[in-house]
Amino acid sequence: MKRFEYKYIIGLLVLLAVAKGSYGQQDPMYSQYMFNVQAYNPAYAGTWQSIGFMALGRYQWVGFEGGPETQTFTIQAPMRNENVGLGLSVIHDRIGEEKRFAVFSDYSYRLKLDQNVYLRLGIKAGFTSYQNDLSKYITYTSVDDHDPAFDGVIEEKFMPNFGIGAYLHSPSYYVGLSVPKMMQNDFEQGPEKIKTELEMRHFTLIGGYVFELSESLKFKPSFITRYVKGSPVVGDLNASFLLNDKFWLGAMVRTVGMFGFNTQFVINNKLRLGYAVDFDTSQIRKYHNGTHEIMVSYELSSVKTRYASPRYF
């Protein structure tokens, strides 16, 4: 794609984002959400019952200059009190010249409801740093016109926040509900004081179940639903198969006109290598080569031997 085309399209996207009273999905979207729950639900911290690390890179609209990119890194660990889990989530998100860098600490507490059924309640607290060089965008105004929405550089805006979550799980199923950011942050830009909502309150609902079809084959349907005021509900439905507790293979559909595929290799129940690819059915598909997501996670030795069994989410 030619550079001037990229500037026009990205400029239009940002113009829509900064229009007064605008709302939309702002938090990063993940295709491998079932293995990256901690990024948006603090109650997930501690569920591995081991010290674990996860790194994920998502590259949307590959081949489209300035397309969205997200890098996520999480750490979780159980405490001496086995009902307590701690974690850290670091997320870098970029689209065009807009950059967000977030660091959040995660805390969860586990309640036993039944044999092998637990409810975890969690809270996360941290901050997001926001930057956007509006002057680099080319808009559709004429040469003599000036759009005050694109005045100057938002050098950095520091936004503290906190989130909450609940996560019900057993060895074969899970359901989670979370609001990753409870506070709504905005700022006023330019001489006309154009209001921009930088952080809106997102609601996320997830769930999944593992069916054992045979000793060597398992089937796991799962879903995630996201909602933010002023935007349509966005939902993903995924169907994955697990072969010999070593190899995941699945497919997904998204309500905003996307579909995709995912795979994951499990090595010694500790190292996981995952990949997902998404394709959209809108007209913008002509200008990019899909969305690609790479994930790596690693777990240190389990705290207790009874947790050495395969983990399905």
pLDDT in single tens digits along all 313 residues of the chain: 444 344 444 444 443 333 333 345 678 899 999 999 999 999 999 999 899 999 999 998 887 777 889 999 999 999 989 899 999 999 999 988 889 999 999 999 999 999 999 999 999 999 999 887 766 666 665 555 656 655 555 667 889 999 999 999 999 999 999 999 999 887 655 545 555 667 889 999 999 999 999 999 999 999 999 999 888 899 999 999 999 999 999 999 999 889 999 999 999 889 999 999 999 887 776 777 889 999 999 999 655 544 456 789 9
Residue 105: predicted pLDDT:
98
CA dihedral 294, 203, 259, 52 (to 10 degrees): 20
Containing 109, the helix (H) or strand (E) segment is: strand 98-114
pLDDT at 124: 98
String of DSSP letters for 57-85:
EEE-STTSTT--EEEEEEEEEE-SSTTEE
* Per-residue confidence (pLDDT) for residue 34, from 0 to 100: 94
The pLDDT, as a whole number, for residue 156 is 72
Q: Which residues partner with 298 through β-bridges?
A: 53, 271
The whole-number pLDDT of residue 197 equals 67
Report the 10 Å Cβ neighbour count for 220.
20
pTM score of the predicted model: 0.85
Token pair listed for 229: 């005021």
The residue behind tokens 């439905």 is 237
